[in-house]
Amino acid sequence: MTKFIQTSVNGAILEVTLDRPRANAIDAETSRGLGRVFAKFRDDPDLRVAIFTSAGERFFSAGWDLHAAAEGEEFEADYGEGGFGGFTELPERNKPVICAVNGSAVGGGFEIALASELIVAAEHAEFFLPETSLGLIPDAGVLRLPRILPPVVANEVLYAGRRLGAAEAMHWGLVNAVAPAGQLLQVARDLAERVVSAAPLAVEAAMSATRETGQLALREAFGLLRSGGLEAYERMLVSEDAQEGPRAFTEKRDPVWKGR
């Protein structure tokens, strides 16, 4: 872990805060440190969901550290096993990450948010991708943004640097909630608690199935789901929790999840 990363645990929730003045930009060393944090999160059976946010109110992250680039760090540097930002390409991560966007999510900062499963944004937050004005393209943005936004909106963000404020981002389905001033983390924590209240193996199965079938035709997707080839899905079907849920419902009580 680097000195720019702070973590805390509240029950089954991991909170990760990036605190790297002045704009929470990320160089390769910081990215590798975040990767180690999120790999431990992935592998810890007691942790169910992570909240990723940043210090301050101006920048969630300005993305790739251009000062490091000017000093010789290459665009395709070793960002660690989790990819840029620590979790964007982390293998076998079947636990959700909530990004609590506390300010501007710029370039790679926006791409990090796009890689999360859930996003809450402060009401003053904004999202934009300036890469084409720098002679580059946002690799993850090109791949992920058109799958979320209407094509003409995604194209304007990608090609012309259109900025999306928090309210517009929510309108287009990019964020789950917009938080009033001073309430961002509480909104993120409330959302995390709702995830924790669900059956852990069911959440893992849903994430796995979504990832593996997302680009398939519906018939092919159902075929894969029924094939026995999705390990997390098969584990959920035969779990004790799959029996506990209906039992708790009929007994009019809260389920007690065991994760097995």
Annotated catalytic residues are 111, 131
| Residues 6 or more apart whose Cβ sits within 8 Å of residue 216 | 224
147, two tokens: 């799958």
Rounded distance, CA 224 to CA 216, Å? 9
User: Which run of H or E residues covers position 97?
Assistant: strand 97-101
- Residue 108 near residue 134, CB atoms below 8 Å: no
Q: What is the DSSP string of 169-221?
A: HHHTTS-SEEEPTT-HHHHHHHHHHHHHHS-HHHHHHHHHHHHHHTTS-HHHH
The amino acid at 87: F
Longest dimension (CA), the chain: 64
> What's the chain's Rg over C-alpha atoms?
19
Rounded distance, CA 185 to CA 179, Å? 9
Q: How far is CA 229 from the centre of its chain?
A: 25
Rounded distance, CA 107 to CA 136, Å? 11
Beta-carbon-side half-sphere exposure of residue 14 (alpha carbons within 13 Å): 23
Q: What is the DSSP string of 143-156?
A: HHGGGTS-HHHHHH
